[in-house]
Amino acid sequence: MWQNILPWRFLIRNVARKHGFLDPLQVFSRIQNFSQPCEVTAPNELLRSGAVLHARGLVNSYAIPHNLDWIWPYWVERQYNPGSESFIPRAFSLTQINLTHRNWTAVGIPGGYEFPIVDPRGLTTPFYDGWSLDAWILPGEGKPLIPSRLADVSQKLGLESNIHVITRSGAGRLKLELKTEVTGSAKAPVCRIQVTGWASGKARLVVSLRPYNPEGVSFVNNIAMLEDSPGWRVNKEDRVYFDKPPDSCAFSNYGRGDVFNNLESQEAAGKITCKAGMATAAAIYKLEPGEPLEVTVTVPLTKNEIEKAGSAESAWKESLRGVCALQIPDEHFQFLYEAAIRTMILHSPEEVYPGPYIYRRFWFRDAAFILYALLAAGLKSRVERSLDRFRSRQTLAGYFLSQEGEWDSNGEALWITRAYCEMTGSKLPEKWKASIEKGARWIYKKRLGTNSPQLGFNHAGLLPAGFSAEHFGPADYYYWDDFWGVAGLKAAAFLCADTKEAARFEKEAEGLLECANRSLENVAKQYNRLAMPASPYRRLDSGSVGTLAASYPLRIFEPEDPRVLATAGFLMEKCLINDGFFHDIAHSGINPYLTLDLAQAL
């Protein structure tokens, strides 16, 4: 590593000390002592995402606390309000990020890569990590209706024909409804927001462009009125259209404050620039007493021309063709099933994403679980399309790479490929075979030796220390990796049954399983318990949930295996809150899918 080169170490240490900082290399070295020696210091993907997250948090700390007269997104209005149960003190917090309301809903079209998101109060963010659109009602007299400042609103995910989010709010004699969806086609999608306002007396309906999203500030440097139709051009690139001209428009920049406080000051030039990237705009419509007004706002999500043929409705109808139907009397569970199916379809345009925003990244780990669910729902062609892309992420050495230092990925890629072939009755495509064989060989070549005197008994023959699923903690010899390795080798033996490699793969699977069992036996003797820790060098904690993969979904251990039952018993005794699995590490929250994993193991 470059930091181990003497001149670099000397220069960095002396520059830091000269300016009164701690030696960063010494701090980094101390941090490494909390983990097992690992060939990858930290996955670059996690470092990049963490850097972006906290860089925005630093911007938030400069932009928000002394500008609370602005209209901010719901999470800010709650997290910065000392009277709210979501309030978090900010003293000594260098970065200020959304820690309390990280829930948003995506809309989109099957096959498309654009996922506008809607926050719990209807704030719509059309573009990935971009600016947002909000709506308010301002009466002639009395308090305004500002959804982000309301304690309660009504929000519904509609699944009919085209998925959409409807947010209804009210305050006194004011009512506001926002319906957000994506129309058009997958190649030329358009985010559409239908804004309907009503007031019993004279009032104004305001549609505002906001320089933030559910994570915080998202810079808007300039806004200008369109010349050819009602609307705005944002950052000289994106366009916002209104189906009817506003009665007036207002603009503001950071120096003047939020446009909410400057609605009467109209720019003669019809545009605004802001060096701080905090430009705001408002389209203002008069509301006649007792008469609803509907304004449709559209934002093209690509530069492609709108296609006349095809529609979001037809795309959804086609994508749902052949899906497993569920009919049960419990309407809530019926809705959850239907919503889950559409969520998986939306987030698997070709590659599979576990989320529309922060988690809009590919991991083999998440892909394996999502594709397994799609298989169970009967969506064979969608799964095959995703599996066919796995080879593009495989290195010459055979490593299925999504993030460095995660040694579970090969097992997951091979396991889900076997599941596809078994559940659909399909033969392994010939073009996949070489990739499967390389992937299996990578697993057994990656294993640590069993004879070296330098290896501790507890991890002899296992996969190296790594980050595995990042929610287990620092780098370690995680049993999770080994169980997936065993399953992957067994899957390769099944898939390559007609080749001479099959016997080798099966033998290697048994060898890895034997080493894992030996390690578990040693740990059980050491601590006088059968419950399985996350690694040979960890005590029992919530990370032990990873070892349950040996029971489900991998079925390496029998459901009645005493080790599985003891682990599940520990987790149920120590890690449940309101019958949900609370994970202390990384996520620090009640985790739905790990709760279901625990339930499957029982």
588-598 pLDDT, tens digit per residue, is 888 888 999 99
Could you count the other beta carbons within 10 Å of the beta carbon of residue 321? 10
Amino acid 6: pLDDT: 52
Higher local confidence (pLDDT), 561 or 308 = 561
Amino acid 432: pLDDT: 96
Helices (H), ranges, 104-185 = none
Q: Give the predicted TM-score (pTM) of the model.
A: 0.92
The percentage of the chain sitting over the pLDDT mark of 70, rounded to a whole number, equals: 93
The secondary structure element, H or E, covering residue 239 is strand 238-242
> ∠ CA(382), CA(386), CA(391), 5° rounding?
155
Lowest mean pLDDT of 138-152, 269-283, 462-476, 491-505, name the range: 462-476
Closest C-alpha to 293, from 174, 373, 446: 174
Q: 186-211 in b/e burial notation, b at 16+ Cβ within 10 A?
A: bebbbbbbbbbbbbeeebbbbbbbbb
- Enter the tokens of residue 360: 């809009």
- Is 252:279 a contact under the CB 8 Å cutoff? yes
pLDDT at residue 1 is higher than 70: no
Lowest mean pLDDT of 135-149, 320-334, 454-468, name the range: 454-468
- Is 570:502 a contact under the CB 8 Å cutoff? no
Closest C-alpha to 588, from 490, 432, 473: 473
Give residue 286's Cα distance to chain centre. 39
Mean predicted confidence (pLDDT) in 83-107 = 93
Q: At what angle do helices 331-346 and 364-376 cross, to 10 degrees?
A: 130
Amino acid 4: pLDDT: 53
Lowest mean pLDDT of 178-192, 255-269, 395-409, name the range: 255-269
- Is 553:600 a contact under the CB 8 Å cutoff? yes
Could you count the other beta carbons within 10 Å of the beta carbon of residue 520? 20
Characterize the bridge pairing of strands 222-225 and 216-217. Answer: unpaired
pLDDT in tens, 477-489: 999 999 999 999 9
Band of residue 37 on the pLDDT scale cut at 50, 70, 90: confident
DSSP 441-472: HHHHHHSPPSS-TTS-GGGTTSPPPB--SGGG
pLDDT at residue 454 is higher than 90: no
Give residues with Cβ within 8 angstroms of 411, minimum separation 6.
443, 481, 483, 484, 485, 486, 487, 488, 489, 491
- Enter the tokens of residue 411: 């097992």
Give residues with Cβ within 8 angstroms of 521, minimum separation 6.
none
What is the three-state SS of 244-312? Answer: CCCCEEEEECCCCCCHHHCCCCCCCCCEEECCCCECEEEEEEEECCCCCEEEEEEEECCCCCCCCCCCH
Characterize the bridge pairing of strands 203-210 and 174-184. Answer: unpaired
Could you tell me the domains of the chain?
1-33 (no CATH), 105-312 (2.70.98.40), 320-393 (no CATH), 394-601 (1.50.10.10)
Band of residue 472 on the pLDDT scale cut at 50, 70, 90: confident
Lowest mean pLDDT of 53-57, 82-86, 187-191, 398-402, name the range: 53-57
pLDDT in tens, 136-178: 999 999 999 999 999 999 999 999 999 999 999 999 899 999 9
DSSP letter, residue 62: H
* pLDDT averaged over every residue in the chain: 92
pLDDT in tens, 365-379: 999 999 999 999 999
DSSP letter, residue 92: T
Band of residue 7 on the pLDDT scale cut at 50, 70, 90: low
Q: Nearest 5°: phi and psi at 298?
A: -125, 145
Band of residue 2 on the pLDDT scale cut at 50, 70, 90: very low
SS3 101: coil
pLDDT at residue 196 is higher than 80: yes
* Cα distances (angstroms) measured from residue 86 to each of 98, 107, 512, 580: 10, 27, 47, 20
CA distance linking residue 353 with residue 363, whole number of Å: 8
pLDDT in tens, 116-128: 999 999 999 999 9
* Cα distances (angstroms) measured from residue 122 to each of 117, 156, 281: 9, 10, 18
- Is 337:326 a contact under the CB 8 Å cutoff? yes
End-to-end CA distance of the chain: 45
pLDDT at residue 210 is higher than 50: yes
pLDDT at residue 8 is higher than 70: no
Higher local confidence (pLDDT), 36 or 558 = 558
Residues paired with residue 278 on neighbouring β-strands, in sequence order: 220
Mean predicted confidence (pLDDT) in 313-326 = 95
- Is 139:202 a contact under the CB 8 Å cutoff? yes
Band of residue 456 on the pLDDT scale cut at 50, 70, 90: low
- For tokens 């008469």, name the residue: 291
- Enter the tokens of residue 47: 């470092």
- For tokens 């994403």, name the residue: 353
- Enter the tokens of residue 236: 């000289």
